[in-house]
Amino acid sequence: MIEGNFYNKIAKQNNIVMVYIPPYIVKKLDALNVYDVAEKLGLTVSRNKALCFMHQDHNPSLHFKKSNNSWKCYVCGIGGHSIELVKRYNNYTFQEACVWLSRAFNISIPESKGVKLKKAPIRKVVSTTKETTYQQVDEEVLNWIINKSRLSEQARQFLFVDREYSEEVVSSLKVGSISDAEKFVTVLTTTFSKERCLKAGVLMEYRNSLHPVFRVPCLLFPYYDVEGRIKNIQSRYLGKLEKGDKKRFNNCKGISPLMFNMPILKSSERFDKVYIAEGVTDCIAFLSEGKKAIALPGAGSFRPEYAEFLRDKTLFMYIDNDEAGNTLFEKINKALKKIGNCIHNIRKDTKYKDYSDYYLSKRHEKNPK
């Protein structure tokens, strides 16, 4: 709740700034983007979380929400909007926090001219190891690969003929492909140094020669965080697997991937329906039907911190028809229940292996060949 009843003049009582602030300015200050305010204060917010400055925090417990422009520490139980964040961080009164915000964001408070704010405490802001895993990605190299990549005929056959996915959806996701490993290495190392490509995790060295970390021929799926910054590329091998070989998917070396299609979480509203897929291709099947969907990079890859991104969504999942699918569903549900949410299983049969198979069967029922 925003405090009201301010004074008509600037005064000092017990070294506290007292200044009249019109209610419309208070509303404007409190509506400032809480992420921008956090940045001005010097807080490091990554994936909607930061280390709490109000207690000794080693696991980020300070959560930020775009949907209602708020923040809250789930250990301290304290939260609010922009004014409250400045109050807590700088040890300011309500009026001092408003004056600080007005100066930081060039919003005029006429009667605050000449007000001197006390020096804010110096706080040491430290990011966690888990967060920096995603920040140290060479985005320029990954973006270059995706921007230069085109769909080969083999890739188009798989996506649009065999799987019947939407071309519009595939294009919007910037899916690419590699059909010639040697050419890929040559062009890439002509643009970037060998050392940089190895460090970026897109090439590996074997017997004094360079090779892609992706099995070629393959599809390339870019992974972006909620802000649309590229954080990984995952490949899907398009060749025939030998008996006993189940390795179709590869990620950039040394990168722990996020969920696929995360920007959709930023654009979706509170309580929107979101479908969670066990893999990228199932996610594209959901998207091809006009549903909002994200994907985990693998059946065993769900981490409890992912739940925070899904806190205010209505969630559904078509679990794969195997033990791993059931285990994954229970793991996700357990993590979501801790933050007051849950997920619904929409599988009503045991006939299909995964959602891609189910998607194809529905299309063939509507349009028999």
Going along the chain from its start, the domains and CATH numbers come out as 11-132 (3.90.580.10), 138-255 (3.90.980.10), 259-369 (3.40.1360.10)
Find the Cα–Cα–Cα–Cα dihedral 170, 171, 177, 179, rounded to 10°.
110
* Torsion sign, CA atoms 204, 208, 209, 215: negative
CA atoms within 13 A on the CB side of 95: 24
CA distances from 33 to 4, 30, 48 (A): 21, 8, 13
pLDDT in tens, the chain (369 residues): 344 443 334 344 444 567 788 899 999 999 999 999 999 998 888 888 888 888 777 668 899 999 999 999 877 778 999 999 999 999 888 888 999 999 999 999 887 777 788 777 766 544 433 333 344 789 999 999 999 999 999 999 999 999 999 999 999 999 999 999 999 999 999 999 999 999 999 999 988 899 999 999 999 999 998 888 899 999 999 999 988 787 899 999 988 778 999 999 888 888 899 999 989 999 999 999 999 999 987 666 777 777 878 888 899 999 888 888 888 888 888 888 887 889 999 988 888 989 999 999 999 887 776
Residue 290 to residues 268, 343, 352: CA-CA distances in angstroms? 13, 20, 21
- Measured CA to CA in angstroms, residue 340 lies from 49, 135, 250, 276 at distances of 18, 29, 34, 18
